[in-house]
């Protein structure tokens, strides 16, 4: 495992991470396209759970809303898009280790890659420093989003589901009609249809995001 660059160490520590085991942090920033023996996938799996619990705790303490409202906000704050947006904001793309082909394909700005990297950093922090220290970093980095509007509006898929029921229509049906691109930059095209009303297609970097966008466009057109 190669050495962690000084600039990357300084970047991580400025964000609030404690860096002792260099190999762990190199792993957290290494994409599978490099061919390295260890990449960020296992740490991303762990960080996803750490992030979810950290945000859920903050929402519980700060918000007296019902379970459904808390869940809606949680889903928005820990989504791949939210993680990728934050990763861009903190400059993660400059420190991701990518194979040449993946970099040439634009993986450094991929929502899939950046979202995973954000979570893998949290996983590395959990292994290195434990939950409390990692939660503190999450609170610091996610505070603007937690205090903002993310997840406060009704989710497009929920809105469409309720619209269909309220208009005595069958439930919306979602279908993936095309998948293209390499894994790190995959594109999904989804069609949503409501019988006897119409259908709309949308494309995004994940099936979930494409379904959400399709529902939003459907409501714009038919709602």
Phi and psi, residue 151, nearest 5° = 80, 0
Q: How far apart are CA 86 and CA 213, in angstroms?
A: 20
pLDDT for the residue 118:
97
Q: How far apart are CA 188 and CA 177, in angstroms?
A: 8
pLDDT for the residue 140:
96
pLDDT for the residue 153:
61
* Reported confidence tier of residue 93, pLDDT bands at 50, 70, 90: very high
Q: Is residue 21 among the annotated active site residues?
A: no
What is the average per-residue pLDDT within 167-185?
89
> Topology of domain 6-147, per CATH?
Ribonuclease iii, N-terminal Endonuclease Domain; Chain A (1.10.1520)
CB under 8 A, 24+ apart: contacts of 17-22: 17/121, 17/124, 17/125, 17/128, 17/129, 17/137, 18/125, 18/128, 18/129, 18/133, 19/128, 20/128, 21/127, 21/128
Report pLDDT digits (tens) over 134-167.
Answer: 999 999 999 998 887 665 567 788 888 888 888 8
Among the options 27, 44, 119, 209, which is catalytic? Answer: 119
Report pLDDT digits (tens) over 59-77.
Answer: 999 887 788 788 888 888 9
For residue 198, what are its two tokens?
Answer: 């119409």
pLDDT for the residue 150:
62
Query: Hey, where are the domains in the chain?
Result: 6-147, 156-222
CA dihedral 36, 30, 206, 145 (to 10 degrees): 170
pLDDT for the residue 98:
94
* CATH class of residue range 156-222: alpha beta
Q: Is residue 220 among the annotated active site residues?
A: no
What is the separation of C-alpha 86 from the centre of its chain, rounded to a whole number of angstroms?
A: 9
Q: What angle do CA 218, 145, 213 make, to 5 degrees?
A: 15
Report pLDDT digits (tens) over 40-49.
Answer: 999 999 999 9
Q: How far apart are CA 142 and CA 51, in angstroms?
A: 10
pLDDT higher for 162 or 92? Answer: 92
User: pTM for this structure?
Assistant: 0.72
pLDDT for the residue 157:
85
Among the options 39, 48, 116, 213, which is catalytic? Answer: 48
pLDDT for the residue 11:
96
Report pLDDT digits (tens) over 107-129.
Answer: 888 889 999 999 999 999 999 99
């Amino acid at each position: 495992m190669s050495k962690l660059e000084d600039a990357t160490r300084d970047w991580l520590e400025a964000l609030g991470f404690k860096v002792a085991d260099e190999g762990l942090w190199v792993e957290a920033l290494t994409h599978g396209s490099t061919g390295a023996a260890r990449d960020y996938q296992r740490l991303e799996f762990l960080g996803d759970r750490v992030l979810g619990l950290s945000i859920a705790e903050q929402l519980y303490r700060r918000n007296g809303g019902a379970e459904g409202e808390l869940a809606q906000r949680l889903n928005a704050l820990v989504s791949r898009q939210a993680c990728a947006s934050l990763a861009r904001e903190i400059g993660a793309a400059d420190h991701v280790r990518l194979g040449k082909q993946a970099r040439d394909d634009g993986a450094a700005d991929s929502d899939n890659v950046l979202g995973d990297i954000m979570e893998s950093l949290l996983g590395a922090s959990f292994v290195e420093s434990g939950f409390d220290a990692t939660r503190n970093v999450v609170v610091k980095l996610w505070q603007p989003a937690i205090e903002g509007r993310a997840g406060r509006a009704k989710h497009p898929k929920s809105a469409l589901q309720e619209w269909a029921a309220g208009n005595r229509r069958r439930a919306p049906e979602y279908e993936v009609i095309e998948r293209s691109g390499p894994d790190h930059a995959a594109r999904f095209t989804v069609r949503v249809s409501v019988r006897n009303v119409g259908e709309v297609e949308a494309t995004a970097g994940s099936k979930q995001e494409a379904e959400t966008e399709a529902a939003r466009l459907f409501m714009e057109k038919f709602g």
